[in-house]
């Protein structure tokens, strides 16, 4: 297993125990990392604090990724408590339910703006905040979470697919921008998992069944499997990998009919 002993990390996007971000936090903790975790609003605070009891003295902070002041406060607290940052996991994404269920041609201007802001721009904003803290540590690793809907049309995914495409493009541009500072930027494109976000996608159970039928491994994936891949990319074991979108989807992306 990849080693994160002595590393300091920030995990953004935990909603509940089914979150991929939580699975990554748990795996990073087991690999030796010291963590800061964030929650979005009072509604999710209790979940995050309850889960974080399993971590070793985590720093728990509010972070609405549409609020620049809150993000600035997160990095200020990390600077004071951690004196630098080795990795950042970006798991924030959002689209209004009606933007997913309505035909894509009916996507509203505001729905488009909010989805791209939360799901894609927030990676850029968080990377900018993490930059001086990672430079202090001699470099770092940034990881975000994507889905195959960035490349192919999935029913009821709609504007989120466009947001994930923008997110993956942002990974490449950030990797090019930050590589000279020894900061790597990658994404994991995971197979469908029953997370809180997935609950907003109509027909999600059908997507799971299609993966089981067509993926080379004849199954879907678990959050722990995504987390293991994430720890690899965050650790020194992945030190030569950047600008990559790693598919962790039981091979489904390679199939045709």
Q: Enumerate the active-site residues.
A: 147, 157
User: Tokens standing for 158?
Assistant: 């709609």
Residues 6+ apart with CB under 8 A from 224: 23, 27
CA distance 250 to 39: 30
- Rounded Cα gap, residues 4 and 100, in angstroms: 37
CB 101 within 8 A of CB 146: no
CA distances from 169 to 54, 124, 129, 144, 186 (A): 35, 11, 19, 12, 11
**Distance from C-alpha of 114 to C-alpha of 163, rounded to nearest angstrom:** 10
Interstrand relation of 59-62 and 34-39 (parallel, antiparallel or unpaired): parallel
Residues 6+ positions from 221 with CB-CB distance below 8 Å: 190, 191, 193, 248, 249, 250
């Amino acid at each position: 297993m990849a080693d994160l002993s002595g590393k300091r990390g920030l995990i953004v996007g935990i909603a509940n125990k089914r979150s991929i971000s939580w699975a990554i936090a748990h795996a990073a903790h087991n690999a030796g990392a010291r963590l800061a975790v964030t929650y979005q609003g009072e509604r999710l605070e209790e979940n995050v604090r309850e889960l974080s009891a399993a971590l070793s003295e985590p720093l728990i902070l509010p972070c609405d990724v549409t609020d620049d002041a809150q993000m600035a406060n997160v990095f200020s607290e990390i600077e004071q408590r951690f004196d630098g940052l080795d990795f950042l996991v970006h798991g924030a994404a959002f689209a209004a339910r009606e933007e997913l269920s309505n035909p894509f041609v009916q996507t509203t201007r505001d729905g488009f703006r909010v989805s791209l802001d939360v799901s894609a721009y927030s990676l850029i904003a968080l990377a900018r905040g993490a930059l001086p803290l990672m430079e202090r540590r001699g470099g770092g690793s940034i990881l975000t979470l994507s889905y195959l809907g960035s490349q192919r049309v999935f029913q009821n995914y709609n504007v989120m697919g466009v947001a994930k495409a923008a997110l993956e493009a942002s990974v490449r541009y950030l990797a090019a921008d930050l590589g000279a500072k020894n900061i790597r930027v990658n994404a994991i494109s995971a197979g469908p998992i029953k997370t809180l976000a997935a609950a907003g996608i109509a027909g999600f159970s059908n997507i799971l069944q299609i993966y089981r039928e067509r993926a080379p491994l004849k199954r879907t994936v678990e959050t722990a499997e995504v987390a293991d891949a994430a720890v690899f990319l965050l650790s020194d074991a992945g030190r030569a990998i950047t600008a990559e979108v790693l598919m962790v989807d039981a091979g489904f992306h390679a199939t045709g009919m």
